Amino acid sequence: MDQPLQPETLAVRSGTVRSQFNEHSEAMYLTSSFVFASAAEAAARFSGAEAGPIYARFTNPGVSMFEERLAALEGAERCVAFASGMAAILATVMGLMKAGEHVVASRSIFGSTVQLFSNILGRFGVETTFVSPTDPEEWRAAIKPNTRLFFLESPSNPLTEVSDIRALADIAHAAGAWLAVDNCFCTPILQRPLELGADIVIHSATKYLDGQGRVLGGAVLGKKDLMEGVYTFLRTAGPTLSAFNAWVLHKGLETLGLRMRAHSENALELATWLEAHPKVARVFYPGLPSHPQHELAMRQQKTGGGIVAFEVAGGKDAAWKVIDATRIMSITANLGDTRTTITHPSSTTHSRMTPEQRAGAGIGDGLIRVAVGLEAVVDLRNDLARGLDAL
Ligand SMILES: *Cc1c(COP(=O)(O)O)cnc(C)c1O
């Protein structure tokens, strides 16, 4: 019997379909539509009786290759790709829910996701209750008769709080709801939420899946029947991943395993060093034994991941001083790049939250997030030392 292939092999080999020319690197299909051999073939394609591309809003061979490869890595029956991570999150709700239904979401999710749930979807009659990512009892208590979806990120941004995916999947299922996990920070190399009981995995492919800060993309993965609704929304509304971006992402996945291991090694070393630094008040990194959910993280993730946050005393002024004194790190909000990025969440990525929401989520003004890249770790350490010396 064939052995199941390892993730590193799937990342390089799965999903590829070659054209008549048998190119080694995948071709890119820059076309809006596809021609049929006959009127009968056109009708068969449109009715679904015959598989094959129709129109690039919802069928492109290059996009399908990326979807197949990511599905193989997450262990999902089906993947539907999107133009961005936010489009993927919107499509999940639009494809699976209706007005009058209710979401329970972690309080510690991406800033735009908070806005999407609380402001935009709220206007269309989908109500959301925000709860602690780390206390399953709050999720259970928030359930209403109309609850259809649990939504979380683990580890969270920027505090790297870790949610118990298996426990929350059980609570969701007992209430007749689905659990969706935004797996952006871990990628399937470090964490496979479907194996832990989640029903839906969401990606901002813009981050680690690309890995070099080049393109936007997103994806939703899960069982075939669930993904049918998500695909129907894509086909009808058109938040489609472009052929070029799909090609970049498909190639990006080839190095995902190597990169995630290197990001994680660098991050653990920096987190350990920061924790011993006299000017650092607190470090947030799931790979450190001092992290409140360290044991859970090490059970459900392969490593602590590539994101480290730390707090300095002195609030915003102190945090800005540290950031401005670094010379190698890029001051930008993106993450999951080969280049290390340094961010002040409370004045950038999380500035649209109210001060009360930020306080509730524990995002202080002295907090700095580092998305650790692939530079030599000694250079990164020296760069942060330069930053902290400014205090
Ligand atoms: C960036 C990000 C998103 C949004 O993705 P885009 O591709 O920017 O739309 C969603 N979730 C998390 C955790 C992110 O980091």
Question: Are 26 and 45 found together in one domain?
Answer: yes
Question: Are 165 and 140 found together in one domain?
Answer: yes
* 1 within a domain of the structure (yes/no): no
Half-sphere exposure of 335 (CA within 13 A, CB side): 26
Residues in the chain: 391
Contact at 8 Å (CB) between 345 and 367?
A: yes
Confidence (pTM): 0.96
Q: How far is CA 252 from the centre of its chain?
A: 15
Distance between Cα 86 and ligand 1 center (Å) = 6
Question: Are 82 and 138 found together in one domain?
Answer: yes
| Final residue belonging to a domain, choices 255, 277, 302 | 255
Q: Which atom of ligand 1 is nearest the CA belonging to 217?
A: 7
Question: Are 376 and 235 found together in one domain?
Answer: no
Amino acid identity, residue 289?
A: P
How far from 57 is each of 53, 239, 320, 324, CA to CA, in Å?
10, 8, 43, 43
pLDDT at 3: 87
pLDDT at 1: 61
Half-sphere exposure of 66 (CA within 13 A, CB side): 33
- Tell me, what DSSP letter sits at residue 44? H
Contacts of 99 (CB under 8 A, 6+ apart): 124, 125, 126
- Ligand 1 proximity of 218 Cβ (cutoff 6 Å): yes
- Ligand 1 proximity of 85 Cβ (cutoff 6 Å): yes
pLDDT at 111: 85
**Minimal-distance CA residue to ligand 1 atom 12:** 110
Instruction: For residues 38 and 94, give the distance between their C-alpha atoms in angstroms, rounded to a whole number.
Output: 35
Mutation test of ligand 1: which of 200, 204, 341 has the most ligand atoms closer than 8 Å to its C-beta? Answer: 204
- For residue 295, the domain's CATH number is 3.90.1150.10
pLDDT at 172: 98
Question: Are 197 and 286 found together in one domain?
Answer: no
Boundaries of domain holding 315:
257-388
Per-residue pLDDT in tens (0 to 9) along the chain, 391 residues: 678 899 999 999 999 999 999 999 999 999 999 999 999 999 999 999 999 999 999 999 999 999 999 999 999 999 999 999 999 999 999 999 999 999 999 998 988 999 999 999 999 999 999 999 999 999 999 999 999 999 999 999 999 999 999 999 999 999 999 999 999 999 999 999 999 999 999 999 999 999 999 999 999 999 999 999 999 999 999 999 999 999 999 999 999 999 999 999 999 999 999 999 999 999 999 999 999 999 999 999 999 999 999 999 999 999 999 999 999 999 998 899 999 999 999 999 888 888 887 887 789 999 999 999 999 999 999 999 999 999 9
For the chain, the first-to-last Cα distance in angstroms comes to 62
| Final residue belonging to a domain, choices 205, 235, 255 | 255
**Minimal-distance CA residue to ligand 1 atom 11:** 110
Tokens 């919107």 found at: 90
From 378, 343, 375, 374, select the one nearest 269 (Cα to Cα): 378
- Tell me, what DSSP letter sits at residue 32? S
- Tell me, what DSSP letter sits at residue 338? S
Backbone angles phi, psi at 153, to 5 degrees: -120, 135
Instruction: For residues 346 and 343, give the distance between their C-alpha atoms in angstroms, rounded to a whole number.
Output: 9
Question: Are 239 and 301 found together in one domain?
Answer: no
* 126 within a domain of the structure (yes/no): yes
Question: Are 148 and 182 found together in one domain?
Answer: yes
| Final residue belonging to a domain, choices 186, 220, 255 | 255
Mutation test of ligand 1: which of 114, 159, 207, 334 has the most ligand atoms closer than 8 Å to its C-beta? Answer: 207
Instruction: For residues 234 and 215, give the distance between their C-alpha atoms in angstroms, rounded to a whole number.
Output: 19
Contacts of 322 (CB under 8 A, 6+ apart): 312, 368, 384, 387, 388, 390, 391
